[in-house]
Amino acid sequence: MALMKASSLNLRDKFGDWWDGANPAQRTIFRIVLIGIFYALPMLNNPIIDTPETSFSSVLFYPLVMFSLMAVGLNVVVGKSGILDLGYVAFFAIGAYTHAVMSIHTPLNFWEILPFAMGFAMLAGLILGLPALRLRGDYLAIITLGFGEIVRIVAVNTEAIGGSAGLTDIPGPDSIFGVEFTVMDPRPYYWLTLTLLLVVIWGVMRLSQRKPGRAWEAIREDEDVAEFMGVATLKYKLWAFIIGGAVGGLAGAIYASQIRSIQPELFTLNLSIMILACVVFGGMGNIWGVILGAVILGYAPEKLRFLSDYRIIFFGLLMVVMMNIRPNGLLPRKKREHFQEKNK
Amino acid sequence: MSKKLLEINDILVNFGGVTALNKVNLHVNEGEIAALIGPNGAGKTTVFNIITGYYTPTSGGVVVDGESILGLRPYQIARKGLGRTFQNIRLFGDMTAAENVATAADSLNKSGLVGSLFGSTRSRRDEAASMEKAHELLHFIGLDHRAFQMAKNLPYGDQRRLEIARALALNPKVLLLDEPAAGFNPQEKVELGDLIRKIRDRGFAVLLIEHDMSLVMDISDRVSVLDFGQKIAEGTPAEIQKNQRVIDAYLGVAEDAS
């Protein structure tokens, strides 16, 4: 019984063993094939994976790759550092509004605005984090929740950025490397987001394996002890917020450039909770887990659309069942341990 | 007369109306094992929490190697050279033993997050140094075979020792050990005593809180006794064992001494 359980759950360890034993060339080939498959996904035209009402390639862009990007960003805050952020949508909104306002009112194009969108979101992370990160746990969660709402309500009440009607006629990105970004075709946006997602994954993984990653994990495990061990906890928590914010802002700018009109109603608490659900459902702290979570939680409601409003019930049921079977998420954070014989 | 690495001067701590520490003076000399003993609730761990900056004293000062550390944040004090362990083991459970130690070692280098992201020369050098130090300390403490295991999965005794290794990664001028022998059997206590001596011989001064009297009397150069927030005695182990006030504090005084 125990043996059976072990062998059935060990797919991940088997892959891990193969990965550890693989030489660099094999790993590179594996990466290229996998990334190639993801780039080719919009070409798929299969009734099994197709979604009713919306085309598969538009679902790929939003929510799948968008949710993935945001989940990877939020995972730095929630999964790595253990800071519960219930207002992540604020950074997404700031990125979206930055692109919308700047592309309408300045001659800058999407590519030039992108650093601003990320920069303002980072600044927002810093401004929110400096006072808020001195608090912990529930208190911090409430403040982030409030921040998410504040950003939305400010947008509703600021006529200069369209008030509750929002902004329309937002320009899309200029063509780049011969790829045109049109209103009708979501695939270029998917490829763009996927590319940026890969860059973000690369960055987050680098940081995770090094000093900042250890500092974040130490903070998550025991903040007081991290401080006693010389970790500048406030600085690293701020960095987590700033990096999470930058990724959220990036996602927001791309989103605004694709849908071409934004309203404050797009940036409600629901979206914060949704992205948080992706992180928790997929496996807090594991970058592959949260992406899997984002893909499943983004895809399921679209696929279940034939059930009309009942799909929300099935969606909820899926989450309840999953969290009972795997309370730590689909792919929990788990470092593979190495056991050695005592050499004495 | 050897140099004082840690001095606690006239520390007064009030929690509301309760005086937890009343004008306590303590010091740790270079190259010595000092012990702090006292009945439960005497204020021993409070002393550690004052030294490491977790609490701010109502009055009094703490000096590390000639430099006042009052008002510094705990992480700054740790970097000045104070490493501590905890009465209840507090490891980073979901990190490997090597990562636990490396996290403390990291705090002594100045590599920033941006350098780590882009792999600057300095960050790579620091990264290698932290890892090397972690493995060196695990070897010193006798845990090299546990390096890649999760801290939470280690046996109890190994967890206690891992905490010591992690504190040593800060290159502490004074290592603060809070009841390191708690839960150990007699054999393990003897081994721990040897380890603490080994740590002293490596050049770290040690301040030890411990309830196990045979261990304290065996390894300490100097013993201070706290009772109800007051220092009631200080001296060599032999002197302390004969001190009437210490005996009274531990055994209690008869109400009616007829």
What is the ipTM, given to two decimal places?
Answer: 0.92
Q: Which residue of A has its CA nearest to B76?
A: A230
Of A121-130, A205-214, B16-25, B244-253, the range with the lowest mean pLDDT is: B244-253
Measured between beta carbons, which residues in chain B are less than 8 angstroms from residue A333?
94
> CB A211 to CB B106 under 8 A?
yes
Place A9 in a pLDDT band, splitting at 50, 70 and 90. low
Task: Please determine, for residue A145, whether its predicted confidence score (pLDDT) is greater than 90.
Answer: yes
Nearest-CA distance from B64 to chain A in Å? Answer: 15
Tokens of B139: 């070897």
Tokens of B107: 């705090």
3-state secondary structure of B112: coil
Q: Which residue of B has its CA nearest to A200?
A: B117
Q: What is the pLDDT of residue A185?
A: 87
Q: Which of residues 74-103 of B touch A (CB under 8 A)?
A: 74-75, 78-79, 83-84, 86, 90-96, 99, 102-103
Place A182 in a pLDDT band, splitting at 50, 70 and 90. confident
DSSP string, A210-269: SHHHHHHHHHHH-HHHHHHTT--HHHHHHHHHHHHHHHHHHHHHHHHHHHS-B-GGGG-H
3-state secondary structure of B82: strand
> CB B78 to CB A338 under 8 A?
no
Q: What is the pLDDT of residue A292?
A: 93
Q: Which of B96, B169, B199, B173 is nearest to A229 (CA)?
A: B169
In angstroms, the CA B103 to CA A213 distance is 9
Tokens of A113: 């605005």
Place A336 in a pLDDT band, splitting at 50, 70 and 90. low
Measured between beta carbons, which residues in chain B are less than 8 angstroms from residue A217?
92, 94-95, 99, 103
Q: Which residue of B has its CA nearest to A80?
A: B94
Angle at B234 between CA B232 and CA B238, to 5 degrees: 120
Q: Give the domain range for residue A155.
A: 57-267
Nearest-CA distance from A193 to chain B in Å? Answer: 21
Q: Which residue of B has its CA nearest to A199?
A: B117
Nearest-CA distance from A221 to chain B in Å? Answer: 5
Place B2 in a pLDDT band, splitting at 50, 70 and 90. confident
Q: What is the pLDDT of residue B53?
A: 94
Domain annotation covers residue A256: yes
> CB B116 to CB A339 under 8 A?
no
Q: What is the pLDDT of residue A342?
A: 52
Q: Which of B48, B111, B113, B176 to mutate to test the interface with A (most CBs of A within 10 A)?
A: B113
Higher-confidence residue: B171 or A4? Answer: B171
Residues 6+ apart with CB under 8 A from A318: A300
Looking up tokens 């605004």 gives A256
CATH for B4-251 is: 3.40.50.300
Nearest-CA distance from A198 to chain B in Å? Answer: 15
Helix H, strand E, coil C: the string for A66-119 is HHHHHHHHHHHHHHHCCCCCCCCHHHHHHHHHHHHHHHHHCCCCHHHHHHHHHH
- Note whether B220 and B208 are within 8 A (CB): yes
Of B96, B117, B126, the CB nearest to A206: B117
In the predicted model, what is the mean pLDDT of residues B237-251?
Answer: 89
Q: What is the pLDDT of residue A74?
A: 96
Task: Please determine, for residue B5, whether its predicted confidence score (pLDDT) is greater than 60.
Answer: yes
Q: Which helix (H) or strand (E) holds B176?
A: strand B174-178
Of A211, A333, A335, the CB nearest to B111: A211
Chain centre to alpha carbon of residue B178 = 6
- Note whether A156 and A164 are within 8 A (CB): yes
Task: Please determine, for residue A321, whether its predicted confidence score (pLDDT) is greater than 90.
Answer: no
pLDDT digits (tens, 9 = 90+) for A75-115: 999 999 999 999 999 999 999 999 999 999 999 999 999 99
Looking up tokens 């498959």 gives A37
Per domain, the residue ranges of chain B are 4-251
> CB B83 to CB A231 under 8 A?
no
Q: Is B130 on the interface with A (CB under 8 A)?
A: yes
Q: Is B152 on the interface with A (CB under 8 A)?
A: no
Nearest-CA distance from A311 to chain B in Å? Answer: 37
In the predicted model, what is the mean pLDDT of residues A121-135?
Answer: 94
Q: Which helix (H) or strand (E) holds B231?
A: strand B230-235
Q: What is the pLDDT of residue A305?
A: 75
In the predicted model, what is the mean pLDDT of residues B99-125?
Answer: 92
Tokens of A49: 């994976």
Place A339 in a pLDDT band, splitting at 50, 70 and 90. low
Place B16 in a pLDDT band, splitting at 50, 70 and 90. confident
What amino acid occupies position A270?
N
> CB B103 to CB A342 under 8 A?
no
Task: Please determine, for residue B130, whether its predicted confidence score (pLDDT) is greater than 60.
Answer: yes
Q: How far apart are the first and last CA of chain B?
A: 45
Residues in chain A, total:
344
pLDDT digits (tens, 9 = 90+) for A228-261: 999 999 999 999 999 999 999 999 999 999 999 9
Residues 6+ apart with CB under 8 A from B7: B26, B27, B61, B62, B63
Q: Which of B117, B118, B153, B158 to mutate to test the interface with A (most CBs of A within 10 A)?
A: B117
> CB A227 to CB B116 under 8 A?
no
Domain annotation covers residue A193: yes
Of B108, B111, B145, the CB nearest to A343: B145
Measured between beta carbons, which residues in chain A are less than 8 angstroms from residue B170?
229-230
In the predicted model, what is the mean pLDDT of residues A53-60?
Answer: 82
Measured between beta carbons, which residues in chain B are less than 8 angstroms from residue A242?
none
How many A/B residue pairs have CB atoms within 8 Å?
113
> CB B99 to CB A214 under 8 A?
yes
Of A217, A230, A333, the CB nearest to B92: A217
Q: What is the pLDDT of residue A43?
A: 85
List Cα–Cα distances, B44 to B40, B234, B239, in angstroms. Answer: 8, 14, 20
Place B251 in a pLDDT band, splitting at 50, 70 and 90. confident
> CB A230 to CB B79 under 8 A?
yes
Q: What is the pLDDT of residue A8?
A: 47
3-state secondary structure of A156: helix
In the predicted model, what is the mean pLDDT of residues B8-26?
Answer: 92
Measured between beta carbons, which residues in chain A are less than 8 angstroms from residue B153?
337
Chain A residues near any Cβ of chain B (below 8 Å): 203, 206-207, 210-212, 214-215, 217-218, 220-222, 224-233, 236, 239, 333, 335, 337-343
How much helix, strand and coil, in percent to the nearest 5, is found in chain B? 40, 25, 35
Of A289-303, A328-342, B71-85, B175-189, the range with the lowest mean pLDDT is: A328-342
In angstroms, the CA A204 to CA A225 distance is 24
What is Dmax (Cα atoms) for chain A?
74
Task: Please determine, for residue A170, whether its predicted confidence score (pLDDT) is greater than 50.
Answer: yes
Q: What is the pLDDT of residue B254?
A: 64
3-state secondary structure of B85: coil
Task: Please determine, for residue A54, whether its predicted confidence score (pLDDT) is greater than 80.
Answer: no
